[in-house]
Amino acid sequence: MITHAEWQSMQTVRVAVLVCFVPVLLYRIWRLWRYPSLLPGKAVTGFGVLLWLWLLAFTDSVWSVLPTWLRAVSAGGWAAVTLAACLQAFVLGISGHTTPARVRRHLWITFTTAGCVLVVVATATLVSDTSAVLQDPYVFTNSLMEGRDPGLLVSSVTSTAYVALILVQLIWTGARNVSRTPVGIGLGLLAAASAVELVVLVSGGIWAPLAHGEVWEGRRFGPWFFIVPAFGVTALVMVGFLYPPVSLHLQARRAVHALTPLRDALAAQFPGLGPPVDPATRLPDLAFEWTTHIQDGLTLLAQARGVPLSTYAPIPADAAARSASVANWITDQVVPGFSCEWLQPPASTSDERWVHELAKAYRVRQEMSGHHFSGQVVANG
């Protein structure tokens, strides 16, 4: 049984988690409203909002003013099942190998499964002793963990088992996709948080009620088994949700800053190079667009200068040497034997990486000479 002092400690942790999650939720909601979002973004935002509201409902001050039906929904496991469905939609969305048709089919299976679980939970809640739900959350939590009411026991164990299965899926997906990329790191953090929460759920949400509270009998560390991991799970979830978009935003900002001089120079020479920037365009998308603008601009510049497709002159194999030669050509310097082949990325260098190398070399060339290209035909070989 949880003592009043331990319950107050748990309430303090709950309030701290609610406060910490506010900026995270506001950021996720702002991104969802500001930019077009795919299924993972929508699912994770819905999960965060529902989780925050659910935690808020179990605070003493809020629980006391909730209507009976809303208490039953919160206590009976309906919220947990809905949260798990959002989490499963997120897991489905981050599986990049799936086709749109397969995503729709799996979403239908997800919602159908969640609906069936909700029917079981609702039926079990209806046959339970509603007086337990009408009590304050302290009394209700002790009654639930000790398995006093068969209806609430079935409802709680069913919803908790469903959530546990979804967490296993998230752990598996996160472990398979973890990497050094921002998204990979975020998935790894979410998988770690899910692993910790899975242990807590199985122990406190399934084992303890089925054992009628004997798991914590005579063990004062029992409630702290929930309190201490709550801080770790909260930190991991917050960082896991925030790290990928923030890291991608910072990387894109640096990329846009690096591409700006070359892109602006080409756009000044060829005004129709790219459409006006949409204010709602995200920085990662803008960086990608500017990469294609630079590629198109270099092609147009080569055509305007009559650059041959190929020559017999050897092409530098090193990316740094070749990008420096291309930068010299862009700024009207004579590069003997220059051809369109020089504009192609070296072996084992991606198109995106090559454009960034060219932008860097062009910026260095500008800083050294302060010279902008004029777009005039110069000697090419």
How far is residue 144's CA from residue 199's CA, in Å, rounded to a whole number?
Answer: 18
Q: Which pLDDT does position 141 carry in this prediction? A: 72
| pLDDT tens digits along 320-351 | 888 998 998 988 888 888 888 888 888 888 88
Least confident of 73-82, 150-159, 199-208, 227-236: 227-236
Q: Is the pLDDT reported for residue 286 higher than 70?
A: yes
Q: Which pLDDT does position 225 carry in this prediction? A: 64
Provide mean pLDDT across the span 34-61: 83
Q: Which pLDDT does position 99 carry in this prediction? A: 75
How far is residue 275's CA from residue 289's CA, in Å, rounded to a whole number?
Answer: 10
Domain boundaries, the chain: 2-240, 250-371
**Phi then psi for 334, rounded to 5 degrees?**
-75, 125
Q: How far is CA 209 from the centre of its chain?
A: 34
Look over the chain and give the mean of its residue pLDDT values, rounded to a whole number: 80
Q: Is 128 helix (H, G, I), strand (E, B) or coil?
A: coil
- Classify domain 2-240 by CATH number: 1.20.1070
Q: Is the pLDDT reported for residue 355 higher than 90?
A: yes
pLDDT confidence of 219, banded at 50, 70, 90? low
Q: Which pLDDT does position 377 carry in this prediction? A: 40
How far is residue 41's CA from residue 363's CA, in Å, rounded to a whole number?
Answer: 36
Q: In terms of DSSP H, where are the helices of 178-223?
A: 182-200, 208-210
How far is residue 173's CA from residue 88's CA, in Å, rounded to a whole number?
Answer: 11
Dihedral sign for Cα 105, 92, 97, 255, please.
Answer: positive
Provide mean pLDDT across the span 242-264: 89
| pLDDT tens digits along 290-327 | 899 999 999 999 898 888 888 788 888 888 888 998 99
How far is residue 331's CA from residue 366's CA, in Å, rounded to a whole number?
Answer: 8
Provide mean pLDDT across the span 184-188: 88
Q: In terms of DSSP H, where are the helices of 58-129?
A: 60-63, 68-76, 78-93, 100-126
Provide mean pLDDT across the span 113-135: 76
Q: Which pLDDT does position 223 carry in this prediction? A: 59
Q: Which pLDDT does position 9 carry in this prediction? A: 75
Q: How many CB atoms lie within 10 A of CB 172?
A: 13
Contact 154, 205 (CB under 8 A): no
- CA 105, 106, 109: angle at the middle one, nearest 5? 95
Provide mean pLDDT across the span 282-295: 88
What is the amino acid identity at position 343?
Answer: L
Provide mean pLDDT across the span 132-138: 64
How far is residue 11's CA from residue 267's CA, in Å, rounded to a whole number?
Answer: 58
